[in-house]
């Protein structure tokens, strides 16, 4: 297999290094990732500025290509410029922090996998459910396990997998759940503060969404120590409403 790795935490993040070390056991790996953190940029692409690329070394060895763009840029650039042929798989991660529920709309990590799916390449996004003291080793093994599965099974074109791994010891993982995406909004709040010049500014914050007791929903299952795997389709058309609107005879 030839696998393209990207992320939104940046090419120097520990998550993508752990992922690289595990995934290279499966075949050839190319890393194309942002040269700085690009968390929560969603599926943005760079149009108003040039994109720069540099070769990055980690631990004294060539590691990959740092791109002055977004995760979606990285996948486009990797496929179009760096690689001589299309990769067999795109993996985006391992993200520091979960990307369950409505986070998929904001996440640069998820966007990296979505871009791969839009290009017709089997893809998955991988996130670890913590922001502190991360241990990416088990999540990296999950990625390798799912990569082997995707090699055996044809994923529908335009669909990718969004994977979240609980940040607990492997012995406490209760299994893998195939889940739906939770849709409880992230309840944002804005804290008002003053800068040293006494000018008001606001810092967006909030609390993680909770969901009803349903292990079929990613947010709830993740909080119950299940690895969640959610198939996400790039086509966001509401087919039911589409059929209804045809009868409206809009002119």
Residue 69 CA to its chain's centroid (Å): 16
Query: Each residue of 183-229: pLDDT tens digit?
Result: 877 777 899 999 999 999 999 887 766 667 889 999 999 999 999 99
Q: Structure pTM?
A: 0.93
Q: How far is CA 145 from CA 26, 30, 139, in A?
A: 10, 19, 10
Indicate the SS3 state at residue 136.
Answer: coil
Report whether 109 contacts 71 (CB < 8 A): yes
Identify the pLDDT of residue 81. Answer: 97
- Give me the mean pLDDT over the 133-161 stretch: 96
Residue 32 lies in a domain: yes
Identify the pLDDT of residue 239. Answer: 92
Residue 6 lies in a domain: yes
Which parts of 105-173 fold into alpha helices (H)? 108-118, 137-152
Residue 167 lies in a domain: yes
Question: What is the arrangement of strands in the sheet containing 159-165, beginning at the earlier edge strand?
Answer: 53-58, 61-67, 28-34, 2-6, 89-96, 123-128, 159-165, 227-233, 176-178
Residue 205 lies in a domain: no
Q: What sign results for the dihedral spanned by CA atoms 249, 234, 12, 87?
A: negative
Cα–Cα distance for residue pair 215/196, rounded to 1 Å: 47
Residue 199 lies in a domain: no
Residue 142 lies in a domain: yes
Range of the domain at 29: 2-184+212-246
Identify the pLDDT of residue 206. Answer: 73
Residue 238 lies in a domain: yes
The structural domain count of the chain equals 1
Query: Each residue of 71-82: pLDDT tens digit?
Result: 999 999 999 999
CATH of the domain at 88: 3.40.1210.10
Residue 120 lies in a domain: yes
Bridge partners, residue 205, by sequence: 189
More confident residue, 207 or 139: 139
């Amino acid at each position: 297999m030839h696998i393209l790795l990207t992320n939104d935490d940046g090419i120097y993040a520990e998550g993508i290094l752990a992922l690289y070390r595990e995934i290279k056991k499966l075949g050839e790996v190319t890393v194309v990732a942002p040269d700085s953190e690009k968390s929560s940029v969603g599926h943005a692409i760079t149009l108003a500025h040039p994109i720069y690329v540099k070769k990055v070394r980690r631990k004294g060895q060539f590691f990959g290509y740092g791109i002055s763009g977004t995760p979606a840029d990285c996948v486009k650039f990797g496929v179009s410029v760096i690689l001589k042929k299309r990769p067999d798989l795109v993996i985006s991660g391992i993200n520091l922090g979960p990307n369950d529920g409505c986070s998929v709309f904001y996440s640069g990590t998820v966007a990296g996998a979505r871009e791969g799916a839009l290009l017709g390449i089997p893809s998955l996004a991988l996130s670890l459910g913590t922001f502190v003291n991360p241990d990416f080793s088990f999540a990296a093994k999950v990625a390798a396990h799912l990569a082997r599965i995707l090699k055996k099974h044809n994923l529908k074109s335009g669909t990718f997998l969004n994977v979240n791994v609980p940040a607990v010891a492997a012995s406490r993982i209760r299994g893998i759940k195939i889940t739906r995406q939770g849709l409880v909004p992230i309840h944002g709040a804005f804290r008002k503060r003053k800068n040293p010049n006494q000018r008001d500014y606001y810092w967006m914050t909030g609390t993680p969404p909770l969901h009803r007791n349903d292990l079929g929903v990613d947010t709830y299952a993740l909080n119950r120590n299940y690895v969640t795997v959610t198939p996400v389709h790039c086509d966001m058309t509401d087919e039911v409403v589409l059929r209804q609107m045809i009868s409206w005879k809009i002119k």
